[in-house]
Structure 1
Amino acid sequence: MNTPPNCTDSEFPAQGRIAAVDYGTVRIGIAVCDPDRILASPLEVHAVTQPDAGGYEADEAYFQKLAAEERITAWVVGLPIHCDGGESDKSVQARKFAAWLRQVTELPTRLFDERFTTVAANQKIRQAKTTRRKTKQRIDAIAAQVLLESFLEACRYRGEIAGHDANEIAAGGDSLVD
């Protein structure tokens, strides 16, 4: 891998492909951007190997292979936050997943507020007029695409990397409301 496992926020690469993850305990939506970070596209929906056990750890080889094949330089994991800025059990799970993903792939990983990504994803799919079955199969990847587009736009707007480092607050604590 390109980055040491103890990479810091300052080591988040300025260029290269980023993969966004819409984390779920059963399905994980994945989207990627081009190396210039202009376009984000849905990639796939990964079925968690052991959803009943709550164990994404069995998917370590999948994420390592994905990072290598797609030439991913960093990850963005969606953090579910309530409209009032509060967090839930899902937030804690997403934080743990992000810290784990960073550890197993040795790539910088950011947490980014994912409020309204599923709503926006549903709107995109309705506009595309796909079948109901295809919609269910793609919604998580489209949500990851919306997350990645939002992250890239926030970075451009602020002139700095948006979100928060996955190891910075992996155990919870401070809110990630930006």
Structure 2
Amino acid sequence: MADVPGAPAGPDGTVAPARQDDRQVTLPRGVRLGVDVGTVRVGVARSDPDGLVATPEATVAHVPGRHTDVAAVAALAAEAGASVVYVGLPRTLAGGEGESARRAREFATGLLGSTQTAAGGPGIEVRLVDERLTTVDAARQLRDSGRRARAQRQVIDQAAAVLILQVALDHERSTGRRAGATPAEEPGPVADARRAATPIPDRPRKARHRGRGADARSGATVEPDDKDPSP
């Protein structure tokens, strides 16, 4: 009988997903953490021991030039007994990497070193997963839920971390393998293929001809601003 994708952990503490290449592939049971690395804050999410659902866990302050955020996440991982930590890698829609991706890689490398030092052994597994559009999705979901902009800023990092982790969990259950890649490897797009396949449409831009002084009188096209219209 074929294994059912996404099946919960069995009595031996392993998750039994679909077969891969005619052989059984299992992952150890245990909490997973998801991390969204921001310029001001670092959002953290965690899963249940069976790796089914991601939930918000904490927000850690990021202080430039210091590594207190790395140490704090390492402590959270140790306290939770995490088997793996997924760090979001913010690639561009075209697949490139910029300054944000560099920070995420640096964070993941530092976290790997911190968990190894704290454990005195192989430590906790740290992997990078493609997080394209997760922060945008998180902001939209919070806005649609009716949260005000100020309140959004307090939880958006955790919400993005939840999305990062849930994509990784779904990948684990469907393939029987860890999502993403180690900091030393080149991450592939498979971990976030679902979100990358649904780009956000551009907002229509309309000309404004009233109440804009010289621009309106001259008939010039005036681009609307990109401010969030939410209160």
TM superposition score normalised by structure 2:
0.63
Residue 42 of structure 1: aligned partner: 56
Aligned pairs for 1:1-178 (under 5 A) are: 14-48=28-62, 50-51=63-64, 53=65, 55=66, 57-105=67-115, 106-166=123-183, 168-169=184-185, 174=186, 176-178=188-190
Question: Would the aligned equivalents of 1:86 and 1:175 in 2 still touch at CA under 8 Å?
Answer: no
When you count helix as a share of all residues, which structure comes out higher?
1
Residues of 1 paired with 2:181 and 2:71: CA distance?
25
Gaps of 5+ in 2: 1-26, 116-122, 191-231
Root-mean-square deviation (Å): 1.9
Residues of 2 paired with 1:61 and 1:159: CA distance?
30
Residues of 1 paired with 2:82 and 2:187: CA distance?
27
SS at match of 1:111: strand
Gaps of 5+ in 1: 1-12
User: How many Å apart are 1:61 and its aligned residue?
Assistant: 3.9
Q: Structure 1's 61 and 162: CA in aligned 2 closer, same or farther, altered over 3 A?
A: closer
Q: Higher mean Cα deviation, 104-113 or 128-137? A: 128-137
Q: Deviations over 1:8-33 (max 9, x none)?
A: xxxxx622111100012321011000
Residues of 2 paired with 1:152 and 1:145: CA distance?
10
User: How many Å apart are 1:68 and its aligned residue?
Assistant: 2.7
When you count strand as a share of all residues, which structure comes out higher?
1
Q: State, as a whole percentage, how many aligned pairs show the same letter.
A: 36
TM superposition score normalised by structure 1:
0.80
Residues of 2 paired with 1:119 and 1:60: CA distance?
24
Residues of 2 paired with 1:152 and 1:160: CA distance?
10
Task: Letter of the 1:90 partner, please give it.
Answer: S
Question: Larger Cα Rg: Structure 1 or Structure 2?
Answer: 2
User: How many Å apart are 1:45 and its aligned residue?
Assistant: 1.3
Question: Would the aligned equivalents of 1:15 and 1:35 in 2 still touch at CA under 8 Å?
Answer: yes
